[in-house]
Amino acid sequence: MKPTLAALALTTALTVPGLGHARPVTFTATLNDYGGNGAYLAFYVTDPSGAYVGSLWMAGRKSGYYQHLTGWYQATGGDPAQIDGITGASVGAGRTLKITLDLADTLMDAGYTLHVDAAAENLRESPNDVTVPLTAAGAGQTVAGRRYVAAFSYQM
């Protein structure tokens, strides 16, 4: 999957003046074989104080299940406007999700943190399965998630 979306244009808090100061960033998340139905993943960003800034991607289309992405749900109250136009299919066990988004330059190296919440039907919820600072140096480094994500990285 390789949608190139102006995520920052869609989620207000991530918009910065001048779309020219943006660059494509590719996020890659590979799930482990957790033995369940397709997992829902919420990608969102918090600022240095820990406050929710905006959403980057929602893997999973049934809004009824969003409450199980507890970190994202608490931050947004499940507001569908937060993920309008940046929603895709859920990700099966053992599968890899790859998304490319145009991210504002100002998000990099400014203390912002990327969170990935994960949940799968009848299995344990995993808020903050991945939390990584958004830094230029962190790009290309692979980290392991806590429960569902076996390997996560982002490339600029």
Give the nearest distance from C-beta 34 to another protein in angstroms.
Answer: 8
- Cα angle value 57/105/81 (rounded, 5°): 30
Q: What is the DSSP letter of 81?
A: G
**Cα diameter, the chain:** 44
Give the nearest distance from C-beta 104 to another protein in angstroms.
Answer: 27
- State how far the Cα of 130 lies from the Cα of 35, in Å rounded to an integer: 19
Give the nearest distance from C-beta 77 to another protein in angstroms.
Answer: 9
Residues 30-89 that bind another protein (CB under 8 A): 34-37, 62-64, 70
Q: Which of 17, 18, 49, 122 binds another protein (CB under 8 A)?
A: 122
Site string for another protein, 88-107 (x = CB under 8 A): --------------------
Alpha carbon separation from 86 to 71, 83, 103, 143, 144 (Å, rounded): 18, 5, 13, 24, 24
Q: Which of 10, 83, 100, 147 binds another protein (CB under 8 A)?
A: 147
Q: Which of 26, 106, 113, 128 binds another protein (CB under 8 A)?
A: 128
User: How does DSSP assign 10-70, residue by residue?
Assistant: HSGGG--S-TTSEEEEEEEEEE---SSSPBEEEEEEE-TTS-EEEEEEEE---GGGGGGSH
Give the nearest distance from C-beta 101 to another protein in angstroms.
Answer: 25
Q: Which of 125, 133, 138, 139 binds another protein (CB under 8 A)?
A: 125
> Which residues form the interface with another protein (CB under 8 A)?
34-37, 62-64, 70, 122-125, 128, 146-147
